[in-house]
Chains A and B, each alone.
Chain A
Amino acid sequence: MSSVTESKTREFEHEVLPHLSAAYRLALWLTRNPTAAQDVVQDSYLRAFRAWNSFETGNVRGWLLTIVRRQSYSFLRRGRKQVHLDINDETAMSPDDVRHLSHESTPEKVLIQGQSVEALRAALLALPTVFREVIILKDIEDMPYKAIAAILEVPIGTVMSRLARGRDLLRQGLKEVRS
Chain B
Amino acid sequence: MIHDPEFAIGLNAYADGELDEADRIQMEEHVVACEKCRSELDSILALKQALSAAQFQIEVPNGLELKVRRKLRAAQRRQALVKTLGAPIVGIAALAAAVSGLLVFQAGDIDEMVVRHERALTNGHLVEMSSSLSENIKPWLQERTEVAPPVLARIGNCVLVGARVESIGKKSASTLAYRCGDHVVDFYALADFHRSAESPSMLPKLVQSGPVHVVAWRRGRLNCYAVSDLPSSQLLNMARYIQDHAAEG
Contact = CB atoms under 8 A, between A and B. Distances in A.
Contact of A20 (B1, B51, B64, B83): B64
B1 A102 contact: yes
Given A6-B210, A95-B5, A102-B2, A46 B71 contact: yes
Contacts of B18: 144-145, 160
A9 interface: yes
A113 interface: yes
Interface string B80-122: 1001100000000000000000000000000000000000000
B180 to A, nearest CB: 22
A145 B9 CA distance: 13
Contacts of A135: 51
Contacts of B76: 1, 5-6, 8-9, 49
Interface in A1-53: 1-6, 8-10, 12-13, 17, 20-21, 24-25, 28, 34, 38, 41-42, 45-46, 49-50
B208 to A, nearest CB: 6
A41 B45 CA distance: 32
Contact of B77 (A1, A8, A98, A115): A1
Contacts of A10: 211
A61 interface: no
Given A1-B77, A1-B80, A120-B51, A24 B60 contact: yes
A159 B190 CA distance: 53
Interface in B51-86: 51-52, 54-56, 58, 60-61, 64-65, 67-69, 71-73, 75-77, 79-80, 83-84
B202 interface: no
A168 interface: yes
Nearest to B58: A25
A167 interface: yes
Interface string A93-127: 00100110011110111001101010011000000
A104 B36 CA distance: 11
Contact of B12 (A117, A140, A163): A163
A163 B210 CA distance: 48
Contacts of B211: 6, 10
B80 A24 contact: no
B16 A145 contact: yes
Contacts of A77: none
Contacts of B83: 2, 4-5
Interface of B: 1-3, 5, 8-9, 11-13, 16, 18, 39, 42-52, 54-56, 58, 60-61, 64-65, 67-69, 71-73, 75-77, 79-80, 83-84, 208-211
Q: Which are the 4 A-B pairs with shortest beta-carbon distances?
A: A108-B43, A139-B51, A6-B210, A109-B46
Interface of A: 1-6, 8-10, 12-13, 17, 20-21, 24-25, 28, 34, 38, 41-42, 45-46, 49-50, 95, 98-99, 102-105, 107-109, 112-113, 115, 117, 120-121, 135, 138-140, 142, 144-145, 160-161, 163-165, 167-168, 170-171
21 contacts: A1-B76, A1-B77, A1-B208, A4-B83, A6-B76, A9-B73, A38-B67, A41-B68, A46-B71, A102-B3, A103-B3, A107-B42, A112-B47, A113-B50, A117-B56, A121-B54, A135-B51, A139-B47, A160-B18, A164-B12, A167-B44
